[in-house]
Amino acid sequence: MDTSSPSAFVNGALLRRYIGQKVRTVIQVIGSDTGSVVGKSTDDLQIVVRGPSTTPPLTTYLEVIGIAESDNSIRAETWTNFGNTFDPQNYNELCKLASGEFKHLFI
């Protein structure tokens, strides 16, 4: 059992707090390029995700787990298609709770 690489739940605004650390977030895909995806975070800020050079077909929402490089970009280790019917508002509220009052349950 190993809790050495937890990833923090972040939205656009919280990303800057975890620069250099492992984070996870869900973005709404706006556009993609070879090796990077541009998306909108659950709190409507733009986030760029640098990932593996082959980008498989993406659904509307994409979960990205990786290292935060700056306050608006992430270097992805894994990403998972979260489908087209994801509720970003719920996720946004979860990010706030998981980084605030209930942080000790997660990190």
**Residues in contact with another protein by the rule CB under 8 A:** 1-3, 5-7, 9, 24, 61, 63, 65, 78, 80, 82-83, 85-87, 90-91, 93-94, 97-98, 102, 104-107
* Residue 5 or 54 with smaller CB distance to another protein: 5
Q: How far is the CB of 106 from another protein (least distance, A)?
A: 5
Residue 56: other Cβ atoms inside 10 A:
7
28, containing H or E segment: strand 22-33
How far is 73 from 71, CA to CA, in rounded Å? 6
* In the complex, least distance from residue 54 CB atom to another protein, rounded to whole angstroms: 15
- Residue number with CB closer to another protein (53 or 85): 85
Sign of CA dihedral 56, 50, 8, 40: negative
- CB atoms < 10 A from the CB of 27, how many? 27
Query: Is residue 15 within 8 Å of residue 71, measured between CB atoms?
Result: yes
Tell the smallest beta-carbon distance from residue 70 to another protein (Å). 21
Q: Which CB atom, from 33 or from 63, has the smaller least distance to another protein?
A: 63
